[in-house]
Copies of this chain bind each other. A is one copy, B any other.
């Protein structure tokens, strides 16, 4: 692999590690700063959000997390794409959630241009005490 490619992959990995650290610090300003202005954020079971502003509004609508602890089980990079396997533990509105999840991040110019998370929505909703539909 050429030095240029190695550097590109190291940068992509660093962005995702920074992003996870920002979540775990519960620092939504840092989280948003790592997103490209035109990011597409797609929680696969629901419709995608387009743009940093849409993500900011979505996060604000959640009313904030009590604490966040994303546990990274595996991470691997191919070019600008970083694939992660995680358990996202967090507390929201006093309710604790532990969610097995995988996510792909596409990096462009040091920011996240696309983010797709794959998980079982019912596993999430059951912990929130909400009905499945």
Assuming the A-B contacts A74-B81, A78-B74, are A121 and B122 also in contact, with contact meaning beta carbons closer than 8 angstroms in the complex?
Answer: yes
> When each residue 75-96 of chain A gets 1 if its CB lies under 8 Å from chain B and 0 otherwise, what string results?
1111001111100000000000
Give chain B residues whose Cβ lies under 8 Å from the Cβ of A121: 120, 122
Segment among A25-33, A53-61, A97-105 that sits at the interface with chain B: A97-105
Question: Which residues of A come within 8 Å of B, CB atoms?
Answer: 44-45, 73-78, 81-85, 100-104, 116, 118-123, 132-133
CB nearest to A121 among chain B residues: B120
Q: Count identical subunits in the complex.
A: 2
In the complex, what residues of B have CB within 8 A of residue A132's CB? 122, 132-133
- C-alpha gap A76/B78 in the complex (Å): 5
